[in-house]
Structure 1
Amino acid sequence: MPIVTPLTKLLNIRMPIVQGGMQWVGVPKLVAAVSNAGGLGVLTALTQPSPAALRTAIQETRKMTTKPFGVNITLLPSIKPPDYAGYARAAVEEGVRIFETAGHSPGELIKYFKANGCIVIHKCTTIRHAKSAAKHGVDVLSIDGFECAGHPGEEDIGGLVLLARAAKELQIPYIASGGIADARGYAAALALGAAGINMGTRFMCTVESPIHQNIKEKIVASSEQDTVHIFRTMHNTARVFKNKISMEVVAIERRPGGAKFEDIRELVSGQRGRLVYENGDPDYGIWSAGISVGLINDIPMCEDLLRTMEKGVDEVINDLSSLVVKSKL
């Protein structure tokens, strides 16, 4: 039987599984595959070089799926900020009505989306930030635990505690993000009160993912010990794959007196990271990966992945129900 939650009802999707927005990864082919499989695919706006290019990506996605899909816009510190408003306007004008937002001070974006009748999922790494986002009118919160790829925040709170806190303190639906790659994690998130799950690294390692086969195979061969945090000393922590470049960055940050961003700028260039995905050399640049790499041992099609998770979560829930001892009275 399908899992029905406030998320499936709100988004009109069959499974409460969201493909998180990922730079260079959330492109039309993957997004359509996830949505066609019953989840929610999410285009990453900033993967596209301009708002006009995002329009084209949305149109391409619509050619491949009639199912709901969303667009991610993440606001991060930048010397030259992207045209966030332009990306938002382009997506809304193309008819997108589901958005995933993340990062610093998204209030104006959220206000714009809500004024245009959109559903907003906002990613947070703390309960206080989640409460603030709820006050801005978001519909769903995505709660990112310390296990996640990308930016886990600075407070290092794991998902087990963070999600339990969310169940006690949040008044709107939330989904679990970070460290989830199989049916056990899916079931655990539901048990902790989540209305669904967000997966990033797991979707990187699928047939429809645009990244190089070598990188997918590297993920399969890796363990939960193969990620590392960079930018810790700069209070902009990011979890990335542990390779020659990321360990060099960590070494520079640990030098006496610390480091400035200028000291590592070339090493952490986004273009180098993009080439990792294109050329397949896992040591060429920085690339995001969550500790869920330790749970990934195959490269399935999205449809097969979601069907396996759907079947698996049902089995886990049934196994748990068998533990209940019924009174003889």
Structure 2
Amino acid sequence: MPIITPLTKLLNIRIPVVQGGMQWVGLPKLVAAVSNAGGLGIITALTQPNPAALRNAIKETRTLTSKPFGVNITLLPSINPPDYAGYARAAVEEGVKIFETAGNSPGELIKYFKSNGCVVIHKCTTIRHAQSAAKLGVDVLSIDGFECAGHPGEQDIGGLVLLARAAQDLKVPYLASGGIADARGVAAALALGASGVNMGTRFMCTVESPIHENIKKTIVKSSEQDTVHIFRTLHNTARVFKNKVSLEVVSIERRPGGAKFEDVRELVSGQRGRLVYETGDPDAGIWSAGIAVGLINDIPTCEDLLRTIEKGVEDVITNLNTVVVKSKL
């Protein structure tokens, strides 16, 4: 039976699963595979070196799928900010109608996308920020719990409570994000009021994922204890894979007197992180991973993964009916 939610109807997808926009990972082959399998694939704009390259990535994705897909634009603190407006304009001009935004002060981007008839999904880590984004006119909110890879915010609120709070206070449909990698997680998210889920780490470990095979095998061998938070003392917390580099960053942060970003800049370089995915060396740099690594035991195709999740969600919901005792009166 199909899983029908406000998200599947809004995005015209079969399965309420969105592939998170991941730096160096959200490339055309993976994006198309997710969309072809019934979910929503997301191109990561800032993985492309410039807006012209993003145009080419969008065109390439269109040669691989006729299904809906989106583009992620994440607003990052930077001395020399990327050409966010240029990326946004390039994607809109190429006909993209679904966007995932994240980061601080997304108002201008959201306004631009909405003025061009686009659907906007915005990622938040607190209910307060979600309510602010809803006022800006976003169509869907992605609620990131403390379990997520990347930046979980500074409040340390797990998904179980955060999603239930979202059900109480939000009028806009929302996705559950963080710690979800299988059918049980998707079913639980739906029970908590979400219209679907956002999965990042799980899609990193698929056949179509562009990262090195050795990193996929590293994820499979890992447990939920194999991630760590960096930048805690800098109030810019990020969950990453626990390796030699991330543990060195944590050690520097714990020094008497603390640390400044300059003290760890070289260790956390994005180019070093990219080498992890290209060379297969898990200790080459910092790389994002959620605690969902503890749930990942294989490297399926996106088609097999989403087919398994779809069937599994149906089974979980059906089995839950057995715990409801119906009155004989």
Q: Deviations over 1:39-76 (max 9, x none)?
A: 00000000000000000000000000000000000001
Residue in 2 aligned with 1:27? 27
Residue in 1 aligned with 2:144? 144
How many residue pairs align between the two structures? 329
Q: Distance in 1 between matches of 2:312 and 2:13?
A: 18
Structure 2 matches for 1:125-274, cutoff 5 A? Answer: 125-274=125-274
Secondary structure of the 1:151 match is coil
What RMSD, in angstroms, separates the aligned Cα atoms of the two structures? 0.3
Instruction: Please tell me whether residue 318 in structure 1 is matched to residue 328 in structure 2.
Output: no
Instruction: Please tell me whether residue 296 in structure 1 is matched to residue 280 in structure 2.
Output: no
Q: Deviations over 1:236-272 (max 9, x none)?
A: 1000000000000000000000111111000000000
Secondary structure of the 1:240 match is strand
Q: Which AA in structure 2 matches 1:296?
A: I
| TM-score, normalization by structure 1 | 1.00
Q: Which AA in structure 1 matches 2:128?
A: R
Q: Distance in 2 between matches of 1:29 and 1:114?
A: 27
Secondary structure of the 1:233 match is coil
Secondary structure of the 1:223 match is coil
Q: Which AA in structure 1 matches 2:72?
A: N
In structure 2, stretches of 5+ residues that fail to align are none
User: How far 1:328 moved relative to its partner?
Assistant: 1.0
Q: Distance in 2 between matches of 1:112 and 1:328?
A: 57
In structure 1, stretches of 5+ residues that fail to align are none
Q: Distance in 1 between matches of 2:287 and 2:65?
A: 28
Q: Deviations over 1:282-323 (max 9, x none)?
A: 001000000000000000000000000001011100110111
Q: Distance in 1 between matches of 2:275 and 2:78?
A: 21
Q: Which AA in structure 2 matches 1:71?
A: V
Residue in 2 aligned with 1:6? 6
Q: Deviations over 1:150-170 (max 9, x none)?
A: 000000000000000000000
Identity of aligned residues (%): 85
Residue in 2 aligned with 1:109? 109
Secondary structure of the 1:164 match is helix
Q: Distance in 2 between matches of 1:106 and 1:256?
A: 36
| TM-score, normalization by structure 2 | 1.00
Q: Distance in 2 between matches of 1:235 and 1:226?
A: 22
Q: Distance in 1 between matches of 2:192 and 2:271?
A: 38
Q: Which AA in structure 1 matches 2:88?
A: A
Q: Which AA in structure 2 matches 1:281?
A: D
Q: Distance in 1 between matches of 2:94 and 2:174?
A: 27
Q: Distance in 2 between matches of 1:276 and 1:30?
A: 18
Q: Which AA in structure 2 matches 1:190?
A: L
